[in-house]
């Protein structure tokens, strides 16, 4: 059976397994109907022109988690930011792992989507926020909505500055021969509140995994949200990440996406503005090789005056890997004095590596500052010669240059331990050990 049919026919069973009388029944039903009409996106659609899902849809995925599989902490410790204390919401094969998690209700909620969706005390919040910014039209998002049941639920009350970063990690054990998971995260950050979140998807063996994840983030007035996505998964793992961000007046939200692994990775990152003097930051480093594929599809919707957005994506492609950057900036007529900046720099290391870069600016206001720059090149030969002249061999010189290339993005990581971790992953990725920690 094709994956689409399998999903549609599992839907009723899925709903019965949770609670068919749940208030969200109508939302799910609408969503599955939309998916049924649209199906998985194909390359015929403009938004999916450079990314084909057809090969990965052929696996016979088990589509909703059956077992509670245990994972020993020592086996997965390296995927945690274990040097510091963090809040943790951890899932194994789509099921919550209370053993690996450290949730809290003490002054803030860091817990489970399934309880938020089902417990009466969260009903008002769910009514107000759940599926309110996520697309009701885009097929993969609606597919996720239809099956939305588990994920992280984070609610930070007004003026709360969360001291510890929050880690959300989805492990897949590979016990199933092929697994599809559809995590659903909801993050609400109250007025003047501040939070840092790290999200990661990690396979523990080479069985294929397809993750179709949806995250909704609501930043209230003057809230500050720093969100980091670490994508350094095995080459059997595929990830479609759909993130929707709603920002109110004077809020500041940044999303950093570090794509170093996986087979096919697609990041749909959408920012929507509802208020003035909003600041949105979208940054990414992509370093891949072999036949890996990473597609960044970003949208910043400037709907209100006096807001800023900053995009900076750096890509290094080796071997036959392919990268896509499609950055759309939409400036509505009312959004005067918008300051939108977009930069995308790409380095191709291999003759067979490909980048498709497409900046898209649609501007309907007349008093705005919008700029974009896109470069595609090889490593700077002068810089290589300079470093070799000082005695640094070619391989190390290359690594230093690539590090220098990514540095602008690395510099803006606000959690020092994470910054260290990312630079270490980059050094490993580049296959060098230098006389100092990058």
Among 380, 414, 424, 428, binds other proteins (CB under 8 A): 380
Among 90, 116, 387, 430, binds other proteins (CB under 8 A): 387
Q: Considering the complex, what minimum distance in angstroms separates the CB of residue 391 from other proteins?
A: 4
Stretch that binds other proteins, among 206-214, 270-278, 324-332, 379-387 (CB under 8 A): 379-387
Instruction: Please report the sign of the dihedral spanned by the C-alpha atoms of residue 200, residue 215, residue 300, residue 166.
Output: negative
Nearer to other proteins, 246 or 406 (CB): 406
**Inter-CA distances, 212 with 94, 239, 264, 381, Å:** 11, 6, 12, 41
Asked if residue 378 binds other proteins (CB under 8 A), the reply is no
Interacting residues with other proteins between 400 and 419 (CB under 8 A):
400-401, 403-404, 406-408, 410-411
Find all residues with CB under 8 Å of 406, minimum gap 6, and list them.
285, 287, 314, 316, 426
Stretch that binds other proteins, among 250-258, 285-293, 312-320, 395-403 (CB under 8 A): 395-403
Among 66, 67, 394, 424, binds other proteins (CB under 8 A): 394
Find all residues with CB under 8 Å of 318, minimum gap 6, and list them.
288, 289, 290, 349, 350, 353
Size, binding site for other proteins by CB under 8 A? 28
Nearer to other proteins, 201 or 314 (CB): 314
Among 21, 74, 78, 390, binds other proteins (CB under 8 A): 390
Backbone φ and ψ of 371, nearest 5°:
-140, 150
Strands 252-259 and 279-288: parallel
In whole angstroms, give the CA distance from residue 153 to residue 216. 10
438 in Cβ contact with 285 (< 8 Å): no
Written as six digits, the tokens of 361 are 């600016």
Nearer to other proteins, 248 or 283 (CB): 283
Stretch that binds other proteins, among 126-134, 174-182, 294-302, 377-385 (CB under 8 A): 377-385
Stretch that binds other proteins, among 59-67, 100-108, 323-331, 392-400 (CB under 8 A): 392-400
Local structure of 363: helix, strand or coil: strand
In whole angstroms, give the CA distance from residue 361 to residue 354. 23
Asked if residue 396 binds other proteins (CB under 8 A), the reply is yes
Stretch that binds other proteins, among 25-33, 35-43, 118-126, 374-382 (CB under 8 A): 374-382
Among 47, 379, 383, 427, binds other proteins (CB under 8 A): 383
416-429 and 394-411 are packed helices; what angle lies between their axes, rounded to 10 degrees?
A: 150
Distance of CA 386 to the CA centre of its chain: 37
Find all residues with CB under 8 Å of 389, minimum gap 6, and list them.
none
In whole angstroms, give the CA distance from residue 120 to residue 438. 49
93 in Cβ contact with 181 (< 8 Å): yes
- Site pattern 328..367 for other proteins (x: CB under 8 A): ----------------------------------------
Stretch that binds other proteins, among 44-52, 134-142, 315-323, 428-436 (CB under 8 A): 428-436
Local structure of 196: helix, strand or coil: strand
Nearer to other proteins, 274 or 403 (CB): 403
Nearer to other proteins, 193 or 347 (CB): 347
Written as six digits, the tokens of 343 are 């930069």
Written as six digits, the tokens of 53 are 């899902």
Nearer to other proteins, 16 or 381 (CB): 381
234 in Cβ contact with 260 (< 8 Å): no
Q: Considering the complex, what minimum distance in angstroms separates the CB of residue 340 from other proteins?
A: 24
Nearer to other proteins, 30 or 383 (CB): 383
Asked if residue 392 binds other proteins (CB under 8 A), the reply is yes
Binding positions for other proteins, rule: CB under 8 A: 380-383, 385-394, 396-397, 400-401, 403-404, 406-408, 410-411, 434-436
């Amino acid at each position: 059976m094709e994956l689409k049919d399998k999903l549609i026919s599992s839907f009723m069973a899925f709903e019965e397994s949770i609670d068919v009388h749940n208030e969200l029944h109508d939302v799910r039903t609408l969503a599955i109907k939309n998916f049924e009409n649209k199906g998985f996106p194909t390359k015929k659609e403009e938004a999916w022109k450079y990314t084909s899902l057809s090969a990965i849809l052929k696996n016979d995925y088990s589509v909703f988690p059956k077992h509670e599989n245990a994972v020993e902490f020592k086996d997965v410790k390296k995927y945690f930011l274990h040097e510091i204390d963090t809040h943790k919401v951890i899932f194994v094969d789509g099921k919550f792992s209370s053993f690996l998690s450290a949730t809290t209700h003490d002054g803030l909620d860091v817990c489970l989507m399934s309880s938020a969706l089902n417990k009466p005390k969260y009903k008002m919040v769910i009514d107000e926020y759940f599926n309110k910014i996520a697309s009701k039209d885009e097929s993969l998002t609606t597919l996720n909505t239809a099956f939305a049941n588990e994920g992280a639920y984070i609610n930070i009350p007004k003026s709360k500055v969360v001291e510890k970063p929050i880690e959300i990690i989805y492990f897949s054990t590979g016990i199933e021969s092929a697994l599809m998971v559809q995590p659903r995260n909801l993050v609400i950050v109250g007025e003047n509140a501040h939070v840092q979140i790290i999200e990661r998807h990690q396979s523990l063996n080479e069985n294929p995994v397809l993750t179709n994840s949806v995250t909704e983030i609501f930043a209230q007035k003057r809230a500050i949200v720093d969100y980091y996505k670490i994508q350094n998964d095995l080459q059997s793992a595929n990830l479609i990440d759909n993130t929707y961000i709603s920002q109110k007046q004077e809020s500041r939200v940044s999303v950093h996406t570090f794509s170093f692994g996986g087979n096919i990775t697609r990041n749909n990152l959408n920012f929507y503005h509802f208020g003035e003097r909003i600041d949105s930051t979208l940054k990414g480093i992509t370093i891949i090789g072999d036949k890996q594929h990473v597609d960044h599809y970003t949208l910043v919707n400037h709907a209100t005056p006096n807001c800023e957005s900053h995009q900076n994506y750096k890509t290094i492609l080796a071997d036959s890997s392919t990268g896509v950057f499609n950055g759309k900036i939409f400036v509505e007529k009312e959004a005067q004095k918008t300051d939108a900046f977009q930069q995308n720099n790409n380095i191709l290391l291999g003759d067979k590596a490909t980048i498709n870069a497409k900046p898209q600016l649609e501007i309907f206001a007349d008093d705005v500052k919008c700029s974009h720059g896109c470069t595609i090149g090889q490593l700077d030969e002068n810089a290589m010669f300079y470093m070799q002249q000082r005695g640094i061999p070619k391989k190390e010189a290359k690594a230093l240059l690539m590090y220098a290339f990514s540095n602008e993005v690395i510099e803006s990581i606000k959690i020092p331990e994470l910054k260290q971790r990312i630079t270490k992953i980059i050094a490993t990725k580049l296959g060098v050990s230098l006389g100092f920690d990058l």
